[in-house]
Amino acid sequence: MKMVNLIINNVKVTVEENTSILKAAKKFNMNIPTLCYYEDLGIKSDCRVCVVQVEGKKGLVSSCSTPVSEGMVVYTNSARVLNARKTIVELILSNHDVKCTTCIKNMRCELQNLAKNLGIDENRFPSVFERQPIDDNNPSIVRDPNLCIKCGRCVDVCNNVQGTSVLAFYGRGHETRVSAVFDEHLSDAFCTLCGQCASVCPVGAITEKDDTDLVWKALADPNKHVIVQVAPAVRVSLGEEVGQKIGTIVTGKMVSAMKILGFDQVFDTDFTADLTILEEGNELIHRITNGGVLPMMTSCCPGWINFAETRYPDILDHISSCKSPQQMFGSLAKSFYPQKIGLDPKDIFVVSVMPCTAKKYEAKRTEMSVDGENPDIDVVLTTRELGKMIKQMGIDFENLDEKPFDSPFGITTGAGAIFGATGGVMEAAIRTVYEVVNKKPLESLDFKELRGLEGIKEAEINLNGTMVKVAVAHTLSMAKVLSEQVRNGTSPYTFIEIMTCPGGCIGGGGQPYGTTNKTRLDRISAIYEVDAGMPLRKSHENPEVLALYKDFLKEPLGKLSHHLLHTYYHNRNNKSQTR
Amino acid sequence: MLLKEVLKKYQRKEDNLIEILLDYQAIKSNHYISKEEIIEIAEYLSLPESKVCSVLTFYTFFSDKPRGKHIIQVCKDVPCYISSQVNVLKTIEKELGIRVNETTQNQQFTLEFTSCIGCCEAGPAMRINDKIYTNLTADKIKAILSEYRVYMQ
Amino acid sequence: MIEMKLISKRFGKINPLSIEEYIKFDGYKNLKKAFSMERTAIIEEVQKAYLRGRGGAGFPTAIKMMALAKETNKEKYILCNADEGEPGNFKDRYLMENDPHQVLEGMIIVAYATGGTKGIIYVRGEYQKSISLLKWSIDEAKKKGYLGNKILGSKFNFDIEVRSGAGSYVCGEEFSLIESIEGNPGRTRVKPPFPTQIGVFGKPTLINNVETFSTIPTILEISGAEFAKIGTPTSTGTKLISLSGNVKNKGVFEIPFGVPIRDVIYKLGKGIEKDRKLKMVQLGGACGPIIPEYMLDMIIDFERFEEFESKTGAGAIIVIDERFDLFDILLKIVQFFQHESCGKCTPCREGHIQLANLIKKFVERKATMEDIVSLESLARVIHQTSLCGLGQTSPTAIISSLRYFRDDYIDCVEHSYKG
C-alpha cells in the first residue's frame, strides 16, 4: 500500500493512500466532529459538519469524503472552519424542534452533543421549523419528523443495508423530508420494523416506542406477578448502556438489577431458544424424511417474518412453523407456568427484554395468545429501555452481585446463547439435528464457517450419509438473495437461517446506540465466550427442557407443542398482486 | 389503460422513469400522476414505489395532485422581472380569478410559478403546457387566455 | 467590430431543420477531417487551442478528453449538458435551435478522439423546441451516415440520444445531471471519483456544455494554434454572451474574449432602454456577481470572473437600470436558489431560507447593522461549505453586492424603521 505524507494541524502524519482526511486525523488523535457520517454506512457528505480547510483550496472540504494527498496541509480547527461548523449546526437547529430536555434522546443525541462541544450558546438564526404529524401508529417505532435533520442515515440503512426501501427523501430544497411512501404510516408501508433506522438516527427522529411506563406500572401493582425474560443478545450489550466496555458479559449483574427493579422472577430466553431447537430441529427432520417443503427457513426473527409476509408471501410455507423463542416463552408463561405455581394466568404480567424493535410488534400479533384474548407477552422492552429503567432507578450496576436466573426457565445451554449472533440458530440446530439423526456425538461443536459478518455463509453437514447444504443470511438484502432462490426453485439449500439485523440480534434495532461492525464483532465474541463457558452446549441436553417435555409437553411436535409452540403466517401483501 | 400503452413504448429500464413520467403526465388532461399510477409504473420498472415518489416530488414538472388542463407557469426570475411593464402574475390572477398554485373551478387552468425558462431576451415570459409566450403585455396576456378559453370549448 | 462569428456563423443563415444546408455551409467537413487525423492529434489540437469549458467552470476541455481517452472501459459516454437553467442564459438554446448539427458534429468528433461509444444530450425540459430539433437532426445525421454504425464508412460507431429534464436547475451540475439521466432525483454525488472515472451508468463519462461541443469543429477548421490567437492568452477563442435586462438590443452575441463589458452593453446592446441610468449588472447569471457602473471596463475573460470566487463563465450579462432596488433583486435571486436547492447538504438546504429572511429585512427597511454582518457571514459559509456548485456560487450576488454596493446597505439600515 502506498503511503502519503501530509500535515494536519501542524502535525506531520503518514497514512495509507485513499484514506479520508477524517480517518487520517482520527488516527493521530484529532477527532473531527461529524454528523451524517456513520462507520460502515455510505459516505454521504451532506451535513458538512466535518469540513476542514486545505491549503490551496478556496472553499472548505468535507473531511469524510476527501482523500489525503501527498503534501496536503490541513487545518481542522482554524477560525474559518470553526465559524463554518458553528453556523452549520445553528442552521440545523433553526429547523429542528428544539426541546432537548424533554426529548427521548436527551444526553445521548449526537446533535445536542455537537452543539455543546462547539459551544453554541445561542442561535443567530430564527427558527423556521414547521410542525408535522408524528407517526406512532405501530407498536415498535416512533418517527417524529420534527426532529429529523435530513442526515440520510436512515434512508441509507433502509435502502442499502436492508433493501426494504420504506424510507426515502421526498421533495427538494428546504421542503426536503424523509418519509414513507405516500406519507403513509410505517405500518402501512411494509416496514419490517427492524429498527435499524432508529439505531443509526443521530437525533430523536426515529426511536423505539418507549414502553417503560407500562412496566413501571405493572411492577407497582401488588396484584400482578411480574416476570421477565431476557434475550441472549442483551447480556452482551446491556453493559454499554451502563458504562461498561463493549462486549462485556453482564448476565449475573443484569439479573440482580432486574430483581432490584422489582421483577418477581427473572427468566432466560436462552431456555426457550433451546426449546426452539428441539421443535425446529425435529420439524426439519420431519420435513426431510416426509418429503415436506424444503428448504426450511428459520422463524425466530420477527423482522424477517414481516419481510416475508409482505414481500415473499408465496414462500411462507418454507418458514418453520415454530414460534420464536420469545413467543414460546410467552405461551409457557401463560399456561405451564401459572399451573406450576398455582396462579391465575390473568395475574401474570410477562415482560420481555429484547435487542429488537420488531419483537414489540410480534408480541401484539393476535395469534400470539394462549387464551385467544390476551397477549402472551404483555410488554416488550428493548435493551435501551432496560438501560433506561436501570438509570431511572439509580442502580449502581457496576457494584452489583451476580445472580442466577430463576427456575423453571433458568438452566440453559451454549446453543441457546448463540441465538444472539448471525449463524447461531443454525449452529445450535446442527448440534442437535446431527446428533439426533446420526445418533453419535459431534466431534467439534464449533462451526466456524457459520460465524462472522459475511453476508451469506454456507456449510455442509452429513446426515446419515447424505450431505445437506445449509445457509445463513443476515440483513434483509441478503435475505432477499436467498428468498429469490427459494421463490425460483433454485435454492441449493435444505435449511436456511435468516436474521434481519446486521450481525444478528446482537446488532438489533433495540441495541445500544453506536453499533458498528466492530461493536458487532465484539458482541459476537462475547456471545461465543458465553457458549464456550457453558457446561452444556447442546439444546437436547438441557435438563429443564427435557423435564418440561416429560412433565408437560410430552414430545417435540406433539399435540401440546403444536398448540403452544407453533404458529402460522399471513400474506400481508394487500397492495398489489405482484409487488 | 392509457398508462399501459405509454409503458409499452419503454424498455423496463430504471433510467426511463423520468421519460415515462413526462410522457404520461403530458397526455393526461389533469397533468398529474396518481397513487395507483405510481404503483403501476414502479411495478413496470421493478422499482420501489418510494423511488418513483421521490423522483416525482423532486422535479417541478411533476405533480401528485390533479391540475388544470392548461398549466400556466410564470417566470419569476430577475431578467423577466426587470423587463416587465406589467405584473404578469397579477394580470393572470385577475383574469382567471385564481391565485398562484390554484386551479380554476372548471379545471381548465392551473397557475404556477416557474424558474427561468431561458427566454430572458424576450421577457416577461410564461409557459402554457409546452408552449412559450414572450414579450408579455397586459393585452397580450388577455388575448392568449381568451384564445385558450375559446379553443377549449 | 466587436462581434466575431465563429460558432454562430450559421445563425439565421441556414434552415436548422435541413442537414443539407448545414453540409453546404461547411457542415460535417471537420468531422471528415477528424477521421483523417490520429485520435491523439485531435486532442492535441484542442489542447493547443486551450479550449476551456463554456458551461461556467472553465475547465480545460483537452484534460477531460485525455482523461476519458485513457480509460479502458468498453463503454464510454459523451454527455452534452444542455440543462441551461441559469437565469439570464439562453445561448445554448440559440445554438440548439439555430445550428443543431454543429452540436452533434462536436460531440461526434470528441467521441471519436476519446473512444466514446454513446452520446447523450440532456436538455432541460423547458426547451421543447430544442429537444424536437435535436431529435430530428439526429435522425437526419443517421440517415446520412454521420451517426450510427460505421460512421462515414469507418469502423467507428457512435449514437446520440436526447434526454429531457423535468424542471430542476441543479441538474446542470455534472453529478446531479448524471443522477437525473439514471432516473433519480438530481442530488449530487460525492467526488472523487470524477465522471471521467465513474460517470453515467457507472461508465467513464465526459461532460461538456453545448457551446464547448459546438466550438470543436471550428478548432479543427482553423487549427488549435489559430484558435488560441483569438481572445486573451488564458481565455482563448470566442464566447457567446446572453445579453438581457434593460438594454435596447437584447440577444445572443458572439465576441472574442477580452472585450470590455461596457462595449457589450453599449455597442451590441445599444445602451440602456429609454436612456435611463444603469444601476447594476449581474454577470454570468443568478450565481454571478453584481457589479456597479464603474466596473464596466472590466474585460470578459475567465480570470476576471474568477476573482469573484464564482463560476460565472457561462456568459450572461443582465443589465439592471436605476428603477430597481438592489434588495428586491437579491431577494429574487436568493429565492431562486432556495427553490432550486436539491436539499442534500445543510448549508444550501437550510441556509437559503435564512438568507432570504435576512434580505427581506432589507427589502422591508427593517434591517440593522448586525443584519449586514450576519448576511455576510452566512453567505460566506454557504459559499465555502456547500457540497456542489449550486451552493458554492449562489451567494456570489450577495457577497459582491456587499463589496460594491455597501452604501446601499448602510443607507437601508439608516432608513430602516427602528423597533
CATH number of the domain at A40, please.
3.10.20.740
Measured between its terminal Cα atoms, the distance across chain C in Å is: 57
Q: Which of C79, C129, C184 to mutate: most B Cβ within 10 Å?
A: C184
Report, as an integer, the average pLDDT of C414-419: 76
Residue A187 belongs to some domain of the structure: no
Q: Name the neighbours of C, counting chains with at least 3 Cβ pairs within 8 A.
A: A, B
For chain A, the average pLDDT equals: 96
Cα angle: A243, vertex A244, A246; to 5 degrees = 120
Residue A234 belongs to some domain of the structure: yes
Percent share of chain B, pLDDT over 70: 97
Q: How confident is the model at residue B64 (pLDDT cuts 50, 70, 90)?
A: very high
Helix (H, G, I), strand (E, B) or coil at A227: strand
**CB-closest option in C87, C183, C340 to B14:** C183
Q: Are residues C96 and C141 in the same domain?
A: yes
**Phi, psi angle pair for A479, to nearest 5°:** -60, -35
Instruction: Give the DSSP letter of residue C265.
Output: I
What are the pLDDT digits (tens) for A528-577?
A: 999 999 999 999 999 999 999 999 999 999 999 999 999 999 999 876 53
Question: Nearest-CA residue of chain B relative to C187?
Answer: B58
Interchain CB distance below 8 Å, A168 and B43: no
CA-closest candidate to residue A315, choices A109, A480, A80: A480
Q: Quick one: pLDDT at residue B149?
A: 87
Amino acid at C206: L
Q: Are residues C188 and C209 in the same domain?
A: yes
Helix (H, G, I), strand (E, B) or coil at B139: helix
Distance from the Cα of C30 to chain A's closest Cα (Å) equals 39
Q: Quick one: pLDDT at residue A579?
A: 39
Report, as an integer, the average pLDDT of A417-430: 97
Q: How confident is the model at residue C418 (pLDDT cuts 50, 70, 90)?
A: low
Interchain CB distance below 8 Å, C245 and B83: yes
Measured CA to CA, the distance from residue A166 to residue B49 in angstroms comes to: 9
Q: How confident is the model at residue B150 (pLDDT cuts 50, 70, 90)?
A: confident
Question: Nearest-CA residue of chain C relative to B45?
Answer: C183
Residue A574 belongs to some domain of the structure: no
Domain that holds residue A26: 3-91
Give the A:C interface size as CB pairs under 8 Å. Answer: 101
What are the pLDDT digits (tens) for A497-533?
A: 999 999 999 999 999 999 999 999 999 999 999 999 9
Report, as an integer, the average pLDDT of B84-109: 94
C178-217 in b/e burial notation, b at 16+ Cβ within 10 A? bbbbebbbbbbbbeeeebbbbbbbebbbbbbbbbbbbbbb
Q: Are residues C211 and C278 in the same domain?
A: no
**ipTM exceeding cut-off 0.90 for this assembly:** yes
Residues of C in contact with A150 (CB under 8 A): 343, 346, 349
Distance from the Cα of A39 to chain C's closest Cα (Å) equals 16
Helix boundaries (H) for A109-250: 110-117, 153-156, 196-200, 212-220, 238-241
Residue C85 belongs to some domain of the structure: yes
Percent share of chain A, pLDDT over 70: 99
Domain that holds residue C368: 326-414
Distance from the Cα of B105 to chain C's closest Cα (Å) equals 26
Q: Are residues C255 and C145 in the same domain?
A: no
Residues of A in contact with B53 (CB under 8 A): 168, 170, 181-182
Q: Quick one: pLDDT at residue C313?
A: 66
Residue A283 belongs to some domain of the structure: yes
Q: Are residues C284 and C391 in the same domain?
A: no
Residue A459, pLDDT above cutoff 90: yes
In the listed set C277, C292, C321, which residue is the last one of a domain according to the structure?
A: C321
Residues of C in contact with A67 (CB under 8 A): 192
Residue C1 belongs to some domain of the structure: no
Classify residue A106 as left (phi > 0), alpha (psi -120 to 50) or beta: beta
Q: Quick one: pLDDT at residue A195?
A: 98
Domains held by chain A: number:
2
Alpha-carbon distances of A23 from A8, A17, A156, A382, C79, rounded to whole Å:
12, 11, 21, 32, 34
Residue A20, pLDDT above cutoff 50: yes
**CB-closest option in A159, A170, A575 to B53:** A170
Chain A contact for B53, CB < 8 A?
yes
What are the pLDDT digits (tens) for C69-105?
A: 999 999 999 999 999 999 999 999 999 999 999 999 9
Instruction: Give the DSSP letter of residue A579.
Output: -
Residues of C in contact with A149 (CB under 8 A): 346
Give the B:C interface size as CB pairs under 8 Å. Answer: 128
What are the pLDDT digits (tens) for C189-233?
A: 998 899 999 999 999 999 999 999 999 999 999 999 999 999 999
What are the pLDDT digits (tens) for A268-285?
A: 999 999 999 999 999 999
> Catalytic residues of A, which ones?
280, 283, 300, 320, 359, 362, 367, 505
What are the pLDDT digits (tens) for C241-282?
A: 999 999 999 999 999 999 999 999 999 999 999 999 999 999
Q: Quick one: pLDDT at residue C191?
A: 87
Q: Are residues C23 and C135 in the same domain?
A: yes
Q: Are residues C290 and C339 in the same domain?
A: no
Helix (H, G, I), strand (E, B) or coil at B70: strand
Question: Nearest-CA residue of chain B relative to A176?
Answer: B58
Q: Quick one: pLDDT at residue C312?
A: 58
Chain B contact for C338, CB < 8 A?
no
Q: Are residues C332 and C316 in the same domain?
A: no
In the listed set C229, C259, C280, which residue is the last one of a domain according to the structure?
A: C229
Q: Are residues C164 and C286 in the same domain?
A: no
Q: Are residues C333 and C267 in the same domain?
A: no
Domain boundaries, given as residue ranges, for chain B: 2-58, 70-152
Report, as an integer, the average pLDDT of C283-294: 94
Residues of B in contact with C131 (CB under 8 A): none
Q: Are residues C247 and C155 in the same domain?
A: no
CATH number of the domain at C44, please.
3.40.50.11540
**CA gyration radius for chain B?**
17
Measured CA to CA, the distance from residue A321 to residue A565 in angstroms comes to: 8
Residue C349 belongs to some domain of the structure: yes
Residue C1, pLDDT above cutoff 80: no
Q: How confident is the model at residue C65 (pLDDT cuts 50, 70, 90)?
A: very high
Contact C92, C198 (CB under 8 A): no
Residue A87 belongs to some domain of the structure: yes
Domains held by chain C: number:
3
- In terms of DSSP bridges, do strands A51-54 and A72-75 run parallel, antiparallel, or are they unpaired? antiparallel
Chain A contact for C338, CB < 8 A?
yes
**CB-closest option in B39, B43, B54 to A168:** B54
Alpha-carbon distances of A103 from A112, A199, B26, B132, rounded to whole Å:
11, 16, 46, 51
Name the superfamily (CATH) of residues B70-152. Answer: Glutaredoxin (3.40.30.10)
In the listed set A35, A59, A91, which residue is the last one of a domain according to the structure?
A: A91
Residues of A in contact with B51 (CB under 8 A): 165, 168
Residue A13, pLDDT above cutoff 60: yes
Residues of C in contact with B114 (CB under 8 A): 126, 167
- In terms of DSSP bridges, do strands A72-75 and A3-8 run parallel, antiparallel, or are they unpaired? parallel
Q: Are residues C369 and C275 in the same domain?
A: no
Q: Quick one: pLDDT at residue C310?
A: 66
Alpha-carbon distances of C409 from A26, A124, C194, C369, C413, rounded to whole Å:
44, 20, 41, 9, 6
Q: Quick one: pLDDT at residue A574?
A: 75
Q: How far is CA A457 from the centre of its chain?
A: 19
In the listed set A49, A76, A91, which residue is the last one of a domain according to the structure?
A: A91
CATH number of the domain at A453, please.
3.40.50.1780
What are the pLDDT digits (tens) for A122-148?
A: 999 999 999 999 999 999 999 999 999
Q: Quick one: pLDDT at residue C417?
A: 77
Q: Quick one: pLDDT at residue A58?
A: 87
Interchain CB distance below 8 Å, B43 and A167: no
Question: Nearest-CA residue of chain A relative to B42?
Answer: A579
Q: Quick one: pLDDT at residue C98?
A: 98
Residue B98, pLDDT above cutoff 70: yes
Report, as an integer, the average pLDDT of A226-239: 98
Contact A28, A35 (CB under 8 A): no
Q: Which of B54, B77, B133 to mutate: most C Cβ within 10 Å?
A: B77
Interchain CB distance below 8 Å, B50 and A167: yes
Tracing cell 436492508 back to the chain, one arrives at: A162
**CB-closest option in B38, B43, B51 to A578:** B43
Classify the C-alpha dihedral A261-A267-A269-A270 as positive or negative: positive
Residue C10 belongs to some domain of the structure: no
Q: Which of A170, A176, A477, A575 to mutate: most B Cβ within 10 Å?
A: A170
